[in-house]
Homo-oligomer: A and B are copies of this chain.
Amino acid sequence: MPETTERQTRLKQVVAKLREQGHRMTPQRMAVLEILIDSTQHPGAEQVYEQVRKDFPMTSLATIYKTLIVLKEVGEISEIVLADGSNRYDGNIPHPHPHLICNHCHRIIDVDLNDLSTLPQVVAQQTGYQIVSHRLDFFGICPRCQEEG
């Protein structure tokens, strides 16, 4: 359970934002939020569910999904949409950033590309669209899976 000031600050900010927008804080909601903020693993709904159940065994999967929808709506987590419908969630960096997805073990990591932040502006100017968000995902085989053959 990380205790850095950064984490605490982020938590408070998100909770405040949720309250401002008329959402209530429940233990389950708090648990989902904390798990997503603490994880760098880009967990799926099912994985969040299992994690939440460690502390709140009565929690239902429906609640997890409903909470994920709320957190998406307030823009504090992002959803990584996969081809098989098993989506993943990212609570670490709320603004869009590239992901690197292993086709073999399905692990997802963040990639740091040092200046694609202007891309949306370029696209907006070029097309007249109001750009709201974007996604940049790379698919491949991670080093570990390459070794294993």
Residues of A within 8 A of B (CB): 79, 81-83, 85, 87, 98, 100, 102-103, 109, 111-113, 119-120, 122-124, 126-143, 146
* Copies of this chain held together in the complex: 2
Using Cβ atoms and an 8 Å threshold, which residues of chain B touch A129? 100, 102, 138, 140-143
Query: With contacts A100-B123, A113-B119 known, is A135 near B132, CB below 8 A?
Result: no
By Cβ-Cβ distance, the 7 closest A-B pairs, closest first, are A128-B143, A131-B140, A129-B140, A134-B138, A130-B141, A132-B140, A133-B139
A11 to B102, CA, bound (A): 32
A129 to B124, CA, bound (A): 31
A146 to B132, CA, bound (A): 13
Using Cβ atoms and an 8 Å threshold, which residues of chain B touch A124? 140
A132 to B129, CA, bound (A): 29
A97 to B87, CA, bound (A): 22
Return the contact of A111 from the options B83, B113, B123, B135 (Cβ within 8 A): B123
A120 to B122, CA, bound (A): 20
Using Cβ atoms and an 8 Å threshold, which residues of chain B touch A138? 120, 123, 129, 131, 133-134
